[in-house]
Chain A
């Protein structure tokens, strides 16, 4: 049984936020919701200013606080390492959100819409997208996954429930990389079986010194970072993406 994980090469990341966009399109998340988030950091004062980038998916912790606190077991840990949210069971208490040190959870505050960004039937859009499947019609998002056969794929499917990055379970279970990994123009994101020393992420992980976010929180993240340093208390975020609902 593969146990998936992600390795992120900060040497390569240019902070283009392409992963954020592909994630939103693949998972049809509501406006203002980012399962994948790319930090743009700056440190030091002019002229000794340094700008750094760090993409932040769900860390899919092995010792996940969100899984511990979920009162109804909607948030659970899968055999293959993914931390999944059963949005057919979630009651929307948002305990997972306050428990998560990384701030990766997102709640569906308002009504769920068929299309969060574009009505592909609008006459100025229709000719452009004719013949393609709109994100909200992606059939794979409504299917149950894993041996548990639970509904964990896709975002903004239901009002008043929490969802978060699924490592694109609908792609991974069909042998594809997550959308963010697939679309990264500089191959800064590498996804695969961390247990297998020959896998691409394992090899990248061995090639450079690595770290995980907030290690001292004891959450055992399955997302590793190489080629950079973790943000310090001196690190400031610049150019935050607009996250308003």
Chain B
């Protein structure tokens, strides 16, 4: 990398009108979401569709929690892929390493927001969690391991992995130069530094993989340990969470990779092989998860206790059947698309993206179905069946978070190369 770079790679720093338009739109969406939150803070959570379990026949956890679980799930894939690339030397996937890391960081930020949306006393919550948090509450792991540890780990991984590219970018004069130089922090790509980074990232990866397994498990335990809620109390919860996390995350990664490939129009940088890898991963995870679904349903309808069966019945044929079967349909269709790849010559990115979107929709649906029915239809005392319908506040909060996530990602893409820079690319 002796040569002087004249402009930043992958359109970093170069702001097109299309980018501005989309950024503004996404910004508006994000602000709308925060407006919803402001209503919630000022009026109380009465503006949501949530109500007390039992006499009030409502669900006290709804959209917010469902999206916490979903976002944390999405975050799974990013850092996993990055770590696996490092550990298993999957050089083929190297181009998507950074967008994977970025996806993780963004998803975790969104998850943190979603949790705050769900608190009745937000500011008090932030203080008291740091002050009084109890390890025997499954919620402890969610916010120490997931939000704190996991987020730090991914940030650090992203930072260290990016130093080399930062050093390259730092050669290019411009508004971002100082930022890039700060990021590079004196990285000069000497063999010694390379070796050092190799070692550091190896150990980071080693540390991260168990962390994310435990982190996602704790999230599963938030539900799986509750004997009071039929449909939750199951040893399958934790592993199922990890699997569905992988499914939604990899699906999202495929979508992002395709978008990047489209916008940058550099097919050498993101060869079909990358997508083949992702598609295979998604296929395996999806099969495993569907297997889990079948096992769970079978257990509940075959030997499940009366209330367990009630909840399952609601899922399969009752009030929640539309969402349930829609999710299943999404899974099956994307499964079909992924298999169809093998019949065709060369992967069709279009099909993969569709599959990616579908599995994410299905994942959101499944998260919703994990959270809600056990509350409205799973009361152990005969309160009768309840109901839960999100209000505009909850919808706008969720949409706002999605918009915020997209905004953060495209902003990142303008501040920093979204893909590792090949030697001499910056010329």
Contacts and interface: CB of A to CB of B under 8 A. Distances in A.
Chain A in direct contact with chain B (Cβ < 8 angstroms): yes
Interface of A: 32-34, 37, 39, 41, 56, 65, 68-74, 89-95, 97-111, 158-162, 213-214, 217-218, 231, 233, 235-237, 240-241, 243-245
Contacts of B45: 92, 107, 109, 160
B54 A102 contact: yes
A236 B362 CA distance: 35
A237 to B, nearest CB: 5
Contacts of A73: 132, 134
B60 to A, nearest CB: 5
Contacts of A241: 55
Given A99-B229, A107-B60, 18 more contacts: A56-B381, A69-B226, A71-B140, A91-B128, A92-B45, A93-B118, A93-B119, A98-B226, A101-B227, A101-B381, A102-B381, A103-B53, A103-B383, A105-B53, A109-B51, A110-B44, A160-B120, A217-B228
B139 A71 contact: yes
Interface string B226-247: 1111000000000000000000
B52 interface: yes
B46 A109 contact: yes
B38 interface: no
Contact of A39 (B52, B226, B306, B382): B382
Interface string B204-239: 000000000000000000100111110000000000
Contact of A160 (B121, B129, B222, B375): B121
B380 A101 contact: yes
A161 B228 contact: no
Nearest to A109: B46
Contacts of B56: 32, 106, 243-245
Contacts of A236: 382, 384
B226 A65 contact: yes
25 contacts: A39-B381, A72-B134, A91-B128, A93-B119, A95-B137, A97-B52, A98-B60, A98-B228, A102-B54, A103-B54, A103-B55, A106-B56, A108-B44, A109-B45, A109-B51, A110-B44, A110-B46, A111-B44, A159-B44, A160-B119, A161-B121, A217-B227, A236-B384, A237-B382, A243-B57
Contact of B137 (A33, A34, A69, A237): A69
B120 A218 contact: no
A143 to B, nearest CB: 21
Contacts of A214: 380-381
B124 A99 contact: no
A183 to B, nearest CB: 19
Contact of B119 (A91, A104, A110, A245): A91
B406 to A, nearest CB: 28
Name A's interface SS: loop
Contact of B125 (A70, A91, A218, A233): A91
A94 B64 CA distance: 12
B80 interface: no
A95 to B, nearest CB: 6
Contacts of B134: 70-73
B137 A68 contact: yes
B138 A240 contact: no
B381 A231 contact: yes
A97 B53 CA distance: 7
A92 B120 contact: yes
Interface string B390-427: 00000000000000000000000000000000000000
B281 interface: no
